């Protein structure tokens, strides 16, 4: 039966009655409130009735300081005591009200005073720590905002510390917040039974009550996803839906409402391997993936992983990717950022990488390495990106309970793919490059980086405003990530990606020298007194000369630094970012993680500058890419030939090199368009080979050779749509 009045209405009735029954025409009404939870209510009602209001802050005697002249309500936030006789005159000439929030709350139920007495008793019997919560519940439910409760609903909230759903209360809080006294515990049990949790009938132990309620809720969700009811014990079989409206399993409803922090805590409850709710049923279930949309019960989670691993070993990688994605999405939606979510997210990447590695050789004409690797939609650059993402995603299984089967299997899968199988892929790709170069004229018809200014002169010299973002060591896949970030952050812009052949050798001094103004015939590389030198119009392109050439051509030249704000107002800007190459050379063990941070940073800079500027066109360019090898690789150090005049770790140069030189020979037969006739360069394509030379061993991060990762570049063009 619902309440008929609110707390303010009952307070108003009490004060009006006291005034009407008082001997004085302008009486003082004294309100004793045990606990002091009605002050705001009494004060508002007093003012609405035209009465002055005074409250005792420290002692009731404060109210005697000033004699009242009009109708007044004196409020004392404590219980009345017969030992105190300070207000006998007020009681005789005015009125006295003894009502705490529990007593006033009971008066709100005029039509059921007998049942309403339990409201008063609940407040009076509560200890000091619980009384505040009871008062809070009474105020929230009876203050007149949002309708009036029933007695049963209010009793439920009092027992459940303000919660109105006994099932969800137990599912969320467990035994932690259950009442200490057995009478209230039995009330909760009976409420659970009334709500359909037959499994707790007759239970008197709080831990058993929680375990059975949670087991019942997990069963309800499993049945919702397709588990046959007959597999469950009778008392755990959920009742059939009435068909009226839309209902969800109790546990699903709860998890959809909690915040992210609480969801993470509940993940450790419902995926706890020590609480396998339906292990005997699930371990023998024919197809656990039928139930994959149920994100609770560690037994189901473990069965799913074991089945997924078996499919992976069977080579069914596409199914593995689809299933892992399904499971990841469900766990992420339910729990957010938790270890289980991360493991399945990595499982998606593992399956995709395995599929890419298995099928890459079947991608059409493998004689065109640039197209094979650099096709924006289908290129094998996606393999490198998958390995990169796999490495930076770390070892999420280490955060799982050790009983989870992923702790014993995921590392082996990851290592096999990102190390041995990836290395085989690099080796095969290197062989294809060697074959293509040795066949002569290897990259005919491709875009060459040294021709960029000449090829794009229609846009660069037309009076349009242009920004160049030249990023050192921007591998194809990382350039794609930058392109995607621009698409996300600035959706009104047109973003295109195009493969370009970088300058060989794939080192910084040649790659940056190539990206300078001049015709495609004005660039060349030649040996000069034992040094390999890039030139434009017969002049060596040093860092100083490159800056001068750009400035003479009307470009504002900006280097990445702490103070790089000047120059952006120019209509033509060339901005250089060198952090990637530097990070790769310095972070020899974990440069992928550093790269991830750097890519995010340069992405923010590019998007900010493009958004703030009003350029007609912008480009994201690279001087070269790089190769990242697995953690544990034995490098094959080879001796450079005696004829080599210049020796680096990935290439040697000399006028008298021949075909017997290790690596693949770049000479006039390669028709690159920029090698001097007397200059020969032998470049390594084998991923683990290095020429013996001084300096750091660059065991993991390197460039300079002719693997596509080193020289096939992704130039991004950004225009107004």
CA distance 151 to 130: 20
Q: Which residues of the chain have pLDDT under 70?
A: 83-84, 240-247, 361, 363-366, 562-564, 583-592, 694-699
User: What secondary structure, in 3-state letters, does 41-100 show?
Assistant: HHHHHHHHCCCEEEECCCCHHHHHCCCCCCCEEEEECCCCCCCCCCCHHHHHHCEEEECC
Neighbours of 414 (CB within 10 A): 22
Find the helix or strand (DSSP H, E) in which 14 lies: helix 7-21
**Res 178: pLDDT:** 84
CA distance 72 to 85: 19
Assigned token pair, 403: 């009983």
Assigned token pair, 183: 């009478």
C-alpha distance across the termini of the chain, in Å: 64
Name the CA dihedral angle for 21, 22, 27, 31, rounded to a multiple of 10 degrees: -70
**Res 363: pLDDT:** 66
Q: In the CATH scheme, what architecture does the domain 7-148 have? A: 3-Layer(aba) Sandwich (3.40)
CA distance 709 to 626: 6
CA distance 438 to 673: 16
Assigned token pair, 49: 């009735």
Assigned token pair, 337: 């950022």
For helices 7-21 and 39-48, what crossing angle results, to 10°? Answer: 60
| 21, burial (CB in 10 Å: exposed 0-12, middle 13-18, buried 19+) | exposed
Q: Hunting for tokens 């450079």 — which residue is that?
A: 640
3-state SS class at 504: coil
CA distance 205 to 395: 41
Each residue of 522-554: b (16+ CB within 10 Å) or e?
Answer: bbbbbbeeeebbbbbeeeebeeebbbebbeeee
Radius of gyration of the chain, Cα coordinates, nearest whole angstrom: 38
Each residue of 362-395: b (16+ CB within 10 Å) or e?
Answer: eeeebebbbbbbbbeeebbbbbbbbbbbbbebee
Q: What is the DSSP letter of 367?
A: T
**Res 244: pLDDT:** 43
Assigned token pair, 165: 């759903």
**Res 288: pLDDT:** 96
Instruction: Identify whether 562 is preceded by a cis peptide bond (ω within 30 of 0).
Output: no
CA distance 193 to 523: 85
**Res 589: pLDDT:** 56
Query: Are the C-beta atoms of residues 674 and 450 closer than 8 Å to each other?
Result: yes
**Res 631: pLDDT:** 76
**Res 245: pLDDT:** 43
Rounded to two decimals, what is the model's pTM? Answer: 0.78
Name the CA dihedral angle for 599, 604, 609, 614, rounded to a multiple of 10 degrees: 100
Residue 691 pairs with which residues in a beta bridge?
638
**Res 298: pLDDT:** 96
**Res 440: pLDDT:** 82
Query: Are the C-beta atoms of residues 697 and 690 closer than 8 Å to each other?
Result: yes
Find the helix or strand (DSSP H, E) in which 682 lies: strand 680-683
**Res 243: pLDDT:** 42
Assigned token pair, 244: 């009226």
Q: What is the DSSP letter of 543?
A: H
Contacts of 405 (CB under 8 A, 6+ apart): 302, 305, 306, 309
CA distance 72 to 539: 99
Q: Hunting for tokens 């998007």 — which residue is that?
A: 607
Query: Are the C-beta atoms of residues 708 and 429 closer than 8 Å to each other?
Result: yes
Boundaries of every domain in the chain: 7-148, 182-257, 279-438, 449-630+703-720
């Amino acid at each position: 039966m619902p309440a008929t009045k609110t707390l303010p209405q009952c307070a108003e009735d009490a004060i009006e009655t006291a005034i009407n029954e008082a001997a004085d025409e302008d009486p003082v009404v004294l309100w004793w409130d045990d606990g002091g939870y009605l002050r705001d209510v009494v004060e508002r009602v007093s003012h609405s009735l035209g009465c002055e209001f005074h409250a005792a802050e420290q002692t009731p005697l404060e109210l005697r300081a000033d004699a009242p002249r009009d109708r007044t309500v004196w409020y004392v936030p404590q219980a009345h005591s017969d030992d105190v006789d300070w207000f006998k005159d007020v009681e005789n000439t005015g009125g006295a009200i003894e009502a705490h929030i529990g007593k006033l709350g009971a008066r709100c139920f005029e039509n059921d005073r007998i049942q309403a007495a339990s409201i008063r008793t609940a407040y009076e019997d509560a200890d000091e720590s619980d009384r505040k919560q009871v008062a809070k519940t009474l105020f929230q439910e009876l203050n007149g905002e949002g309708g009036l409760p029933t007695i049963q609903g209010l009793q439920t909230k009092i027992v459940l510390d303000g919660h109105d759903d006994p099932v969800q209360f137990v599912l969320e809080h467990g035994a932690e917040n259950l009442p200490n006294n057995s009478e209230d515990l039995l009330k909760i049990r009976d409420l659970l039974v009334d709500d359909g949790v037959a499994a707790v009938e007759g239970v008197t132990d709080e831990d058993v009550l929680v375990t059975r309620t949670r087991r019942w809720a997990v069963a309800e969700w499993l049945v919702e996803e397709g588990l046959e009811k007959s597999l469950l014990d009778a008392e755990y079989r959920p009742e059939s839906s009435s068909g009226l409206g839309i209902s969800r399993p109790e546990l699903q409803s709860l998890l959809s409402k909690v915040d992210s922090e609480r969801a993470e805590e509940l993940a450790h409850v419902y995926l706890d391997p020590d609480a396998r709710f339906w292990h005997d049923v699930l371990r023998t279930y024919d197809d656990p993936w039928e139930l994959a949309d149920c994100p609770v019960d560690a037994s189901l989670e473990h069965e799913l992983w074991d089945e997924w691993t078996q499919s992976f070993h069977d080579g069914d990688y596409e199914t593995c990717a689809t299933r892992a994605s399904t499971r990841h999405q469900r766990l992420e939606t339910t729990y957010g950022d938790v270890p289980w979510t991360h493991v399945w997210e990595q499982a998606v990447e593992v399956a995709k990488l395995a599929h890419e590695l298995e099928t890459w050789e079947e991608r059409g004409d493998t004689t065109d390495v640039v197209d094979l690797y650099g096709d924006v939609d289908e290129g094998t650059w996606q393999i490198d990106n998958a390995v990169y993402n796999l490495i930076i995603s770390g070892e999420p299984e280490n955060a799982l309970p050790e009983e989870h089967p992923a702790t014993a299997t995921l590392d082996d899968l990851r290592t096999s793919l990102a190390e041995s199988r990836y290395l085989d892929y690099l080796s095969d790709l290197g062989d294809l490059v060697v074959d293509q170069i040795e066949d002569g004229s290897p990259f005919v018809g491709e875009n060459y980086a040294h021709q960029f200014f000449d090829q794009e002169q229609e846009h660069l010299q037309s009076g349009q405003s242009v920004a160049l973002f030249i990023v050192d060591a921007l591998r194809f896949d990382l350039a794609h990530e930058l392109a995607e970030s621009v698409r996300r952050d600035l959706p009104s812009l047109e973003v295109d990606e195009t493969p370009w052949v970088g300058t060989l050798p794939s080192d910084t001094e040649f790659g940056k020298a190539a990206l300078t103004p001049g015709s495609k015939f004005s660039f060349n590389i030649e040996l000069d007194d034992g040094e390999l030198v890039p030139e434009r119009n017969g002049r060596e392109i040093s860092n100083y000369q490159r800056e001068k050439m750009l400035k003479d051509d009307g470009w504002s030249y900006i280097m990445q630094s702490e103070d790089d704000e000047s120059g952006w107002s120019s209509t033509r800007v060339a901005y250089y970012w060198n952090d990637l190459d530097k990070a790769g050379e310095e972070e020899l063990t974990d440069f992928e993680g550093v790269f991830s941070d750097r890519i995010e940073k340069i992405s923010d800079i590019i998007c900010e500058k493009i958004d703030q500027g009003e350029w007609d066109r912008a480009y994201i360019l690279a001087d070269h890419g790089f190769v990242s090898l697995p953690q544990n690789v034995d490098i094959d150090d080879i001796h450079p030939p005696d004829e080599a005049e210049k020796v680096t770790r990935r290439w040697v140069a000399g006028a008298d090199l021949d075909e017997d030189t290790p690596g693949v020979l770049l000479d006039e037969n390669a028709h690159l368009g920029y090698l001097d006739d007397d200059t020969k360069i032998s470049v390594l394509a084998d991923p683990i080979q290095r020429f013996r030379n001084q300096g750091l061993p660059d065991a993991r991060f390197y460039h300079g050779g002719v693997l596509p990762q080193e020289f096939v570049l992704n130039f991004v063009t950004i225009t107004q749509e």
